[in-house]
Structure 1
Amino acid sequence: MAVHASTTTTLIVLLPLLAWRLRARYKRLIGRQRTSKYRPWIGMGIYAVLLGLTGWAAWGQWHALQTLAGGLCAGGLLSRWAWRQTRLEPTAQGLYYTPHTHLGVALLLLFAARIAWRIVEIVWLLPESQAGFHAFVASPLTMAVFGLMAGHNMGYAMALFLWRRRVLAAKRAREAVATAAGTDAPGSVE
């Protein structure tokens, strides 16, 4: 069984990067997290770029693109449900949230399992017929799983951004009222 050199090189380069990102994502799914001003925008930007590159690589594979769109929609709906399960904590030390761990970990494991199976499929089961990134993303199931994860993460990041903005705007309004009334503004974000 001959393995294409380009596939092997791609795997050698991308697998450590993928493992690092999956580990970082896992850490973001467990326990209490502090909100960040920029992290939601960075995450949405990265997913937008990945979606664009993936869509471009799969251009012409209409079934794959349709399942990507379906996965994005389903992921957006899942993010709404997960957001309702999130525990939000505005404190004097900052804004914190505890994400719904089970759904996030399930999506992460689904994505990791699909990527692992796709690598096995391309490298060992069908090495002569499929090779390269185009073959990797041309699978409708891979695109659906990626769309599901991307839709969930982008929707959740947007909800987190909107919540943070709403809480901080309410805090500024309370401080403005307290200043206008001549009293000291409370330090809490409550």
Structure 2
Amino acid sequence: MPPHAHLPPLAIAGIGLLIAWRIYSRVRRLVGRQHFRPVRAWMSLILLPLLAAVLLLGLAVHPLRAAVLVVGLGAGALLAQLGLQRTRFEVTPQGLFYTPHAHIGIALSLLLTARVVYRLAQLYWLPELLAESPDHFIRSPLTLMILGTLLAYYARYAWGLIRWSRSVAQTPSP
């Protein structure tokens, strides 16, 4: 794309609508009672730490950026522990259910959304950024911090859900 090309307003609107739809569906899922799905939890537990490891490997030549990502990972793990402590777990004849602490998940989702919206606004008002490499966005310490927090939060939360489901399965029924 030429350095002075603008992102068309229709593209910005389309991306904005896609983001709004994803936020709505994510927030709707975070505020209500959810059926525990082991496959989803295991996929989060495997894929998210793998993604974090790949990012850390890619940042090996940038120790400061790697440190920011590690701080984000630590913050996400701590937030997940807090979220798990405030999650309501239920064992019913229909299966295992949990109601996550909505405020933490919503805050993290909105933080990521704000970062993406900010980046889209930058691309719109500073079209010269379109000429930069696609990995430019991920090089930002703020983005790395947010990404690390989200990766660790959802991975640690999934681990907590798996541990809970296993403890319930080992508990004898009355």
- Place the TM-score, normalised by the shorter chain, in its bin: 0.7 to 0.9
User: What's the secondary structure of 2:4's corresponding residue?
Assistant: coil
Partners of 2:54 and 2:120 in 1: how far apart? Answer: 19
Partner of 2:167: 166
Partner residue in 2 for 1:153: 154
Match of 2:26 in 1: 25
User: Structure 1: how far apart are the matches of 2:124 and 2:132?
Assistant: 8
Check conservation: 2:5, 2:130, Cα contact below 8 A. no
Please say if 1:2 is aligned against 2:4.
Answer: yes
Q: Which runs of 5+ in 2 are unaligned?
A: none
Residues 128 and 136 of structure 1: CA distance in aligned 2, closer, same or farther (over 3 Å): closer
Aligned residue for 2:72?
Answer: 71
Greater RCO, CA 8 A, separation 6+? 2
Q: What is the CA deviation profile of residues 47-85 of structure 1, one whole-angstrom value per residue up to 9, with x for unaligned ones?
A: 234324544554533322211110000110010011111
**What does the per-residue CA deviation read over 1:114-152, in whole Å, with 9 as the maximum and x for residues that have no partner?**
122123335533625962321010000100011111111
Q: TM (normalized to structure 1)?
A: 0.74
Secondary structure (helix, strand or coil) at the match of 1:60 reads coil
Q: How far apart are residue 43 of structure 1 and its match?
A: 1.7
**Aligned-partner SS, 2:98:** strand
Identify if the C-alpha distance between structure 1 residues 53 and 117 changes in structure 2 by more than 3 Å, giving closer, same or farther: farther
Matched residue count: 168
The separation in 2 between residues aligned to 1:120 and 1:167, in whole angstroms, is 47
- The AA in structure 2 aligned to 1:127 is E
TM-score normalised according to structure 2 size: 0.80
Range moving further from structure 2, 137-146 or 120-129 = 120-129
Q: The residue matched to 1:102 in structure 2 has which SS?
A: helix
**Counterpart Cα distance in 2 of 1:100 and 1:86:** 5
How many Å separate the matches in 2 of 1:72 and 1:165?
A: 25
2:112 is matched by which residue type in structure 1? F
Distance in 1 of aligned mates of 2:53 and 2:20: 22
Match of 1:134 in 2: 135
Measure, in 2, the Cα distance between the counterparts of 1:90 and 1:139.
43
Unaligned runs of 5+ in 1: 6-10, 175-185
Q: Which has the larger radius of gyration?
A: 1
